[in-house]
Structure 1
Amino acid sequence: MTEHLSIPTPAGSFDAIAAGPADGRPVLLLHGFPQAAIVWEDQVAVLGDRGYRAVAPDQRGYSPGVRPETVAEYGMSELVSDVLAIADGFGWSRFDLVGHDWGAAVGWWTAWEHPDRVRTLTAVSTPHPGALAQALRTDEDQAMRSQYMRDWRDRSTERRMLANNGEALRRMFEWKVSTTRVDEYVQRLSEPGALTAALNWYRASRPAAKIGKVEVPTLYVWSTEDVALGSTAALDTENWVSGPYWFQMLEDVSHWVPEEHPEILTGLILEHLSRR
């Protein structure tokens, strides 16, 4: 049975969904843009049924209790600190980490900086940041795909995305996610300050230090119809993991893997966890 939690941290209280026994092996699941913790609803429920303690928080800016106003407070160091603070709040010395989209980016950085805390990493859609940075420099296709990240830094983005009942936000999902779920995402991001907070993830400065190879056991799931993330960085990601690595390519699947094919992704996560 899925629970709704409020997780207190020094940064504020994170809203979250959770399932499974309190003493189960901990799994933390991180969502991306423009979604929320409920993107992991199916995975949390199944993991809980299998005896894991699965927790998916609404991340910084998405949780009303952790919605700072300044762009600088959405830097990667703050996002990684949130992951550790949430884990500390549960008393987890080690935990499995799962992320999609921006959540995967945070997952890569957390696993690299804190391999002592992260037992395994499952990254969905977003490749290793080093592989992506290299592709942006050398691959014209990836540079074109990523142009939106620069465009969204413009302060007119909120108005454009929310116009006509969030029409632009709705189009992002390519009709691969249920209308009911998309309605909820749009409603949440229509709350005062919510979309600006979510877009501040794109506007914040990224770390100057180069991220290195991840040493924890890693599953990377990439889908061939992902409009934002091409094959160059996806195929190069194996060169950025020094630990055990498992790459799964999903044919004819969009960027929205957790909701488009929840059963497939949940099965991959469970198999990855069972190996460690």
Structure 2
Amino acid sequence: MPLIRAFCIAGLLTAGAAPVFAATEGPAYGPELQGFEYPYPVKHFNFQSQGKSLQMGYMDVPANGQANGRSVVLMHGKNFCGATWEGSIKALSDAGYRVIAPDQIGFCTSSKPDHYQYSFQQLAINTHQLLEKLGIQKATLVGHSTGGMLATRYALLYPKQTEQLALVNPIGLEDWKALGVPYSSVDQWYERELKLSAEGVRKYELNTYYVGRWKPEYDRWVDMLAGLNKGPGHIQVAWNSALIYDMIFTQPVYYEFKDLQMPTLLLIGTSDNTAIGKDLAPPEVKAKLGNYAVLGKQVAKLIPHATLVEFPGLGHAPQMEEPAQFHKALLQGLNAL
């Protein structure tokens, strides 16, 4: 039977007044997010993959103060970038960790190839090559949202190189297609992504990520995503995004959680309701999807050495909603595993 130690983080926000959004659509950025400021210097890893010369942007932040000799790799979500880990990078660095925060191929400061066969295995291989170049033989992986699916795949491919695994509101805790969500083709995803706007991102994230509560600091991340999608590389960005959505929908990791053998920390905002394609599902299916208050507990039972930490009332990105509480729980959890 799996080992599960469940904790609840109480005293969270209640719903407040309706948010006020800025009227402007924000800036436009280059195809590799040129013009957007990252919290730490961005370096680039150049490598060959699928017959293409690609580059992966990443931040490599040393321990601030006394180093503990451990490395953490932060894996971002679909609508996020390495930069959105800003608070977590500081908290982990201050605690003595070396922190690597890459942008995966197809995202943010990294290449967006015209043709690329996306798979979680391929992204894991790319990341492993980066870590080898940096001389990191073993690391703790922290994956958020889609990054949770990637971190799971990486841990399954490279169990000896994975010291610990931490999953922050990962998607893929259920298999949407098996539950009745209709399939969308790459072309359909592409048409949707071409229409992406800052206002649309805000509304989606307000309702899906932040439980109806908006903070002014979230606007920077909306501008980041929308600015990338409206800039001169918007065709490449939208096409790669469509390919990535297809990867997420068609490559579940749900059935392999049982095979994870490393200590695993599940950090779950229980009010999250994220589910890919949920808006296209029939009402009776839609009502059952993305229930993280249930999904976190279910998946904790599937993972052999799982520790579940719940944040009641928080949504999809607890590290951004309540960073102090989240980072306290993360650091305590990593030290206890």
> Which bracket does the TM-score occupy, shorter chain normalised?
0.7 to 0.9
2:170 is aligned with 1:171? no
Q: Structure 1-normalised TM-score?
A: 0.83
1:37-52 paired onto structure 2 within 5 Å: 37-52=82-97
Equivalent position amino acid for 1:83 in 2: T
Is 1:104 equivalent to 2:136 in the alignment?
Answer: no
Return 105-114 or 226-235, whichever deviates more: 226-235
Give the residue type in structure 2 aligned to 1:16.
Answer: Y
Q: 1:239 aligns with which of 273, 295, 301?
A: 301
Shift of the alpha carbon at 1:16?
1.9
SS of the equivalent of 2:88 reads helix
Unaligned runs of 5+ in 1: none
Segments of 5+ residues of structure 2 without an aligned counterpart are 1-38, 207-213, 275-289
Match of 2:31 in 1: none
> How much has 1:215 moved relative to structure 2?
0.8
Question: Aligned residues, how many?
Answer: 261
User: Is the partner of 1:14 in helix, strand or coil?
Assistant: strand
Structure number having the greater helix percentage: 1
> Could you tell me how far apart the structure 2 residues matched to 1:136 and 1:207 are?
9
1:256 matches 2:326: no
Tell me by how many angstroms 1:233 deviates.
2.7
2:263 corresponds to 1:200: no
CA distance in 2, matches of 1:268, 1:44: 15
Q: What is the percent sequence identity of the aligned residues?
A: 19
Aligned to 2:251, what secondary structure does the other structure show?
A: coil
Higher relative contact order (CA 8 A, sep 6+): 2
Q: 1:208 to 1:265 in 2, by over 3 A?
A: closer
Please give the residue correspondences for 1:145-184 in structure 2 after superposition, counting only pairs within 5 Å.
Answer: 150=184, 154=188, 155-162=190-197, 166-174=198-206, 175-176=214-215, 178-184=218-224
Distance 1:262 1:195, change over 3 A: farther
Aligned residue runs from structure 1 range 1-276, under 5 A: 2-11=40-49, 12-21=54-63, 24-70=69-115, 73-126=117-170, 129=172, 131-133=173-175, 137=178, 150=184, 154=188, 155-162=190-197, 166-174=198-206, 175-176=214-215, 178-191=218-231, 192=233, 193-204=236-247, 205-206=250-251, 210-211=255-256, 212-228=258-274, 229-230=290-291, 231-243=293-305, 245-276=306-337
Once the 2 structures are TM-superposed, how far is the Cα of residue 210 of structure 1 from its aligned partner?
4.8
Alpha-carbon shift at residue 59 of structure 1 (Å): 1.3
Q: Distance in 2 between matches of 1:183 and 1:208?
A: 31
Q: 1:207 to 1:274 in 2, by over 3 A?
A: closer
Opposite residue 269 of structure 1, the aligned amino acid is: L
How far did residue 26 of structure 1 move? 1.0
Give the TM-score normalised by the residue count of structure 2.
0.69
